[in-house]
Amino acid sequence: MASDSARAALLLSKQLKDLQKNGASFFSAGLVDDENPFEWQIILTGPASTLYEGGMFKARLTFPKDYPYKPPVMKFVSEMWHPNIYKDGKVCISILHPAGDDPNAYEMASERWLPVHTVESILNSVISLLASPNTESPANVDAAVRRSPHPNAMAMAASCRRASCSDFIPFGPVSRLFISTSECTTFKALRKSTQDV
């Protein structure tokens, strides 16, 4: 009988192959290290008609050895400014919270992690979260308070969106950069000048 860890590794390998074969146009996935199926690198494209449109954001998914019985942790590597993303990049979304009742009685058990969820359902939920943040239960209070139409909201999101191109290395089905190199160069100069103030 295979261990939980071996079963999880097989399931993750299958989910990765499925994603790469049937991939969506708004995300790409790959292993950080070919020998470790529990650590994935993700690239999400910012959803259209949002503050994140045009960005390509790197994230990591770290899976527990007993996946799918426990949820993975998703953390953006790219700088993000969003009400439901902690300042360290960790994503705060119900689907990634442990199964069962919410100790704070905010989320219903059906909104939290269930073993039927897949990497694809997680990424679809995060894309949806980028488009429609939950400002009632923010992980980043400052981002929730200064949400659009606040004058700084668009500038902060644009900062993250443009910065996302500076460390982009394409892999998988997502292969085009939505922000030109000249925009990145201009942005870096503007960012440096505002940091010097």
With contact defined as beta carbons under 8 Å apart, do 148 and 154 qualify? yes
76: left (phi over 0), alpha (psi -120 to 50) or beta: beta
Catalytic position from the list 92, 160, 165, 184: 92
Which tokens sit at 41? 């690198």
| Angle (deg, nearest 10), helices 4-22 and 119-131 | 60
Cis before 115 (ω within 30)? no
85: left (phi over 0), alpha (psi -120 to 50) or beta: beta
Active site residue 92: yes
Active site positions, annotated:
92
